[in-house]
Chain A
């Protein structure tokens, strides 16, 4: 053991002898324990909630999507024709051929109306290719036809097996002049989703029907990636394969950028608020170290007179600060992580399931969060230690030794 740790450990042991220093050292350790435990728990609770939210988001959002742009997109679609235009076929082929892409589903987005005898209801319409997209929870029972959200079905009095008339705002030319395009389609299925709380749920219909009604709608390619494929890498490959005028590649993270930002902001704000406990503990550490410096002033002077350079005296107090804080911070971190694991495992805190997306408070201890807590504790306690350490290194040895006699 070197000089610095040898002396620091001995001074650490001597802190128990002085009642004032012992109280401040206990306050430091206790404050750091409470602070780190609270930080770990708060971040674990947020991570648990956010994890549930993100899992739900990932379930309902394609990992990657390509929005055809310019001439290759909807503008290239032949009006009223169900056959996809040549440019779009080429784009789909190139996307499908990209490494890491397992499947491509073409979707058409438009707005229209569902009409019955009593009136019309404006709805978002999604035309799907082959099977309904994975983010619509209808299972395998859906036969070709309309798939309606439960809220729309209830408002229109529709049930599976019935039929509904879909009207497009795009007019078609008839011998008697322009008339709205409309089709009566069977209701194949009705679905419900927890996402109804924060999003208008769409009416789905097969792509060829949607093409015939809403040929000018916005198109999108939803990509399913091969297992293990990295969305960012596949997105980069796609961007190099597709010119910006041909289409825009968006990852699920980009598509949900605003939400992810809010989640990060929320975590940052909670962290900042709870970290104040650690900051207060760091003040206790500063007071404890100041008291140690005051009581060991003449000894520091003697060490300097014997040739201990200022930088090593500084390190001595940094080491003492670390010794005074490591126990509390370590215990707090471990206790916080243990409590989070227990609360999550046994679902101790319940929530009303009709209000929240989960019926208990989930906790998820992430290594990254623990590292952030550890680093912030090191920064706070390091800053407190550094203030005392700098004062120790600047002590005038003659004055310091004289203080022992006065």
Chain B
């Protein structure tokens, strides 16, 4: 499902060239969950952005859901992100001018579908996360945990085969974080979605099938599992 080989990425910080990724290799199978851990500034988010076609590597191959990302044009990559990827960000990144339901169905609107055809599915998703009564509320009317649950619904709206989550609980209190993680794991299992999650929280990482450590620009397996935890 996800195949990464020899990916390198460097940033220029003034006169200094910072090599964030150095020949990273990664394979994540269909329905598998992988957590990428590492200290702050180790390049976890950069790797996730590369997997999500939001950033381009300086070298190496990235293939997600059968699509060679480095060979695709920007418009094709946008379509790929819309169809095949769901993003959950640390800071929910909901659109403040749109209601919870409108935020959830936004990927469908981008895909060119009408609001009417998406609403039933959007409401069902909100129902699954216990927010059916908050569909008409705007993000500023929701709590942090509720916002992140809406963001998860949005990521799953078009049932993408791959879900990428960047510190999904990083901005939440312990109770809300656990609730969001349960939700994410439950939805992922039911749908058989491939999930790559970036975190520096060992507890969060422990709930994933595989844990990989990114340090010094290199990715090393910290813990491998044969079977996903149920």
Q: Is the CB of A305 within 8 A of B87?
A: yes
Partner of B98, one of A1, A2, A10, A404: A10
Q: How far is the CA of A283 from the CA of B207 in the complex (A)?
A: 54
Interface string of B40-82 (1 = CB under 8 A from A): 0000000001001011000000000000000000110011111
Q: Select from chain A the residue with minimum beta-carbon distance to B158.
A: A307
Q: How far is the CA of A1 from the CA of B154 in the complex (A)?
A: 20
Q: How far is the CB of A222 from chain B (nearest CB, A)?
A: 66
Q: How far is the CA of A310 from the CA of B81 in the complex (A)?
A: 13
Q: Is the CB of A405 within 8 A of B81?
A: no
Partner of A306, one of B91, B96, B107: B107
Indicate whether A309 reaches chain B with its CB closer than 8 angstroms: yes
Indicate whether B18 reaches chain A with its CB closer than 8 angstroms: no
Q: Is the CB of B54 within 8 A of A2?
A: no
Q: Is the CB of A298 within 8 A of B115?
A: no
Interface residues of A in 291-331 (CB under 8 A from B): 298-299, 302-312
Chain B contributes a number of interface residues (CB within 8 A of A) equal to: 29
Chain A contributes a number of interface residues (CB within 8 A of B) equal to: 26
Interface residues of A in 7-22 (CB under 8 A from B): 10-11, 13-14
Known contacts: A6-B109, A310-B75. The answer to whether A405 contacts B91 by CB under 8 A is yes
Residues of chain B with a CB closer than 8 A to A302's CB: 89, 93, 95
Q: How far is the CB of A6 from chain B (nearest CB, A)?
A: 6
Interface SS majority for chain A: helix
Indicate whether A236 reaches chain B with its CB closer than 8 angstroms: no
Indicate whether A401 reaches chain B with its CB closer than 8 angstroms: yes
Q: How far is the CB of A326 from chain B (nearest CB, A)?
A: 20
Q: Is the CB of A307 within 8 A of B82?
A: yes
The interface centre, meaning the residue of A2, A10, A305 with most chain B CB atoms within 10 A of its CB, is A305
Q: How far is the CA of A24 from the CA of B197 in the complex (A)?
A: 43
Q: Is the CB of A306 within 8 A of B97?
A: no
Interface residues of A in 182-237 (CB under 8 A from B): none
Residues of chain B with a CB closer than 8 A to A346's CB: none
Known A401-B89, A401-B93; further 8 A-B contacts with Cβ < 8 A? A2-B109, A14-B97, A299-B97, A303-B95, A308-B78, A310-B74, A398-B54, A398-B55
A-B complex: 7 closest residue pairs judged by Cβ atoms: A307-B82, A309-B78, A307-B81, A3-B109, A10-B97, A302-B93, A309-B75
